[in-house]
Amino acid sequence: MSPGWARTRENTLQTGLSFVMPVLNESRYLTEAVTSILQQEVDGESELILALGPSTDDTDEVAQRLSDAADGRIRLVRNPRANIPAGLNAAIGAAKYPVIVRVDAHCEIPTDYAARALATLERTGAANVGGIMVATGTAVVQRAVARAYNSKLGLGGPSFHSGGEEGPSESAYLGVFLRDVLDEVGMYDESVLRGEDWELNLRIRSAGYLVWFDPELKVIYRPRASLGAVARQFFATGAWRGELARRDPRATSLRYFAPPALVAAVLAGIVVSSIAALSPGLAGKPWWLAAAWSPALVYLMTILVATARDSEAHSLADRIATLAVLPTMHVAWGTGFWKGLLRGARRTNDRSRVLRP
């Protein structure tokens, strides 16, 4: 462990903290996100560093106005590579305080978020703490995406989506880090374009440090608002999860294999159906088709039952949107996973930020 570990821990509350945020085509949400950061109730000093990618909307102008009005508390750095880990590293490199708080332009944090995170760092001896993503939407599709994020059926039930008891965790949503530890493990891997948080936390844990989940840390997250944007986002995320599984299968939870198993089952059903249609000997044996399509039918029934029982879907439009969103997320993620596992993710990136949701 770093020789500065004890010294950093002793001084965390006294010396201040740096919020870091990668930003690309976020003019719609940036003001609310930045406002929630500037309103943090913490002792000591703080700063916000925005890593600006090459946006195609007026994000840069919004960021500059916010910086001009913030009395030096907001600094801007450039992220010409546009990807998230490069932006985070650029912002962290410019940071001057020993605690790094990762934030996102799609998020808003309550006023006590940073103070709670600092207290949890001190209480637990962790190197990184994170909490729960509380997805929230306004339009019909975005609301359905938010409900999927918050459910175990939607994203498989990791604690930072569905909650759980406080304790050690394999990863952390966003994260509040000790800077010494980030320096020691090498910060974010800029070759990992999605899943960079999971990969970083794996290295933190491998170095002997603790990653901690605190369910009292809640972050409001604004998900993508169209099926196309959701599909692009989840395909990229799945591809990088497959890439990480390809690199180290032992560090990959079994739950990550559920969406690719669904995709494989659907493809198997299509193949068997095609063979049965072309084979006179199988044409009169429908049990072939029943067996081939049974996994997909079980999945469909599960989605239908879950949608019918969804107490937060208040209208027919909400339920129809849920029926569209869940398969979109699962199939896109599962298809991406197979690409990453078999061929590597390569330069696959989430283009939904560029092609505005």
- Among 95-109, 132-146, 219-233, 262-276, which stretch is predicted with the lowest mean pLDDT? 262-276
Distance in angstroms (rounded) separating the CA atoms of residues 103 and 107: 7
122-134 confidence digits (pLDDT tens): 999 999 999 999 9
User: What is residue 43's predicted lDDT score, i.e. its pLDDT?
Assistant: 84
User: What is residue 349's predicted lDDT score, i.e. its pLDDT?
Assistant: 81
Q: What percent of the chain has pLDDT over 70?
A: 90
Is residue 2 predicted with pLDDT exceeding 50? no
| DSSP assignment string, 245-259 | HHH-GGGS-GGGGHH
Phi, psi of 51 (to 5 degrees): -95, 105
Distance in angstroms (rounded) separating the CA atoms of residues 316 and 322: 10
Neighbours of 33 (CB within 10 A): 23
Mean pLDDT, rounded, for 268-292: 73
Q: How far apart are the first and last CA of the chain?
A: 43
**CB burial of residue 113 (10 Å; 0-12, 13-18, 19+):** buried
CA distances from 58 to 68, 104, 184, 255 (A): 16, 17, 37, 39
User: Cβ(327)–Cβ(231) under 8 Å?
Assistant: no
Distance in angstroms (rounded) separating the CA atoms of residues 89 and 190: 8
| CATH 3.90.550.10 matches 5-223 | yes
Radius of gyration of the chain (CA): 22
Q: Where are the domains of the chain?
A: 5-223, 247-343
85-106 confidence digits (pLDDT tens): 999 999 999 999 999 999 999 8
Per-chain mean pLDDT for the chain? 88
What is the rounded (10 degree) CA torsion for 188, 126, 244, 260?
Answer: -130
18: helix, strand or coil: strand
User: Cβ(72)–Cβ(99) under 8 Å?
Assistant: no
User: Cβ(98)–Cβ(203) under 8 Å?
Assistant: no
Distance in angstroms (rounded) separating the CA atoms of residues 142 and 11: 41
For 60-73, b where at least 16 C-beta lie within 10 A, e where not — what string? bebbeebbeeeeeb
Smallest CA-to-CA distance from 158 within 222, 247, 265, 241 is with: 241
Is residue 272 predicted with pLDDT exceeding 70? yes
